[in-house]
Amino acid sequence: MAYLTRKRIKGITYYYAEESEWRNGRSKRIWQKYLGPLSKIICR
C-alpha cells in the first residue's frame, strides 16, 4: 500500500509517495516518487 511521507531538507518540507514491504525481517522501500513541497502539490 502506498502512503505519503515528508522529509525536511534545509528547513523546507518535501513530500514523497512511497511503498514499503517487509523483506528478511526488515522494512524495505520498494519505490518512491517525489511530489514536491506542499504549495506545489496543492496547485496541481
CA dist., res. 44 & res. 35, Å (int)? 10
Is residue 41 over pLDDT 90?
A: no
Instruction: Check pLDDT > 80 for residue 44.
Output: no
Give me the residue spans of the domains in the chain: 2-43
pLDDT of residue 7: 96
pLDDT at 42: 84
Per-residue CA distances from 30 to 1, 7, 23, 42 (Å)? 10, 17, 10, 26
Residue 44 to residue 9: CA distance in whole angstroms: 22
Please give the pLDDT value at position 43: 80
User: Which tens digit of pLDDT belongs to each residue from 10-35?
Assistant: 999 999 999 999 999 999 999 999 99
